Amino acid sequence: MSFESMPYKDKKVISIGIVRELTGLSLRQIRYYEERKLIFPDRNEKGTRRFSFSDIEKLIEIANKREEGVQTQEIRKEMKKETKPIEKKMLKEMLRGQFNAHFKNNKLM
């Protein structure tokens, strides 16, 4: 998926400072959640983290769960359960697109 066709919520263009302001989390907390594999910011050519609006929503959800006493390990398990159906759907769509492209290209030859 190209950057232009990506939904705006998933574009990783927001700096960690803005994320801190929007979420109320400290830089240390944000980095910790990345370290614990709860969020996955992109890095630009200088190594600066870039987040999406989806990442911000996820960080707020993580912070709320942490306030309730949920451990990061449990949050990660929950997140894996939630993403599996989405990943399967995306995989099916990708395979369908590759299949269609293959046969479309072969018809043109």
pLDDT tens across 12-33, in order?
999 999 999 999 999 999 999 9
pLDDT higher than 50, residue 109: no
What type of residue is 27? L
Let me know how long the chain is.
109
Token digits of residue 79? 């997140």
Query: Which pLDDT tens digit goes with each residue over 45-103?
Result: 999 999 999 999 999 999 999 999 999 999 999 888 765 555 666 666 777 777 677 66
Sketch the domain layout of the chain as residue ranges. 8-108
CATH 3.40.50.620 fits domain 8-108: no
> Coil, helix or strand for 43?
strand
Output the pLDDT for position 65.
Answer: 94
Q: Which residues contact 73 (CB under 8 A, 6 or more apart)?
A: 36
Q: What is the pTM for the complete model shown?
A: 0.69
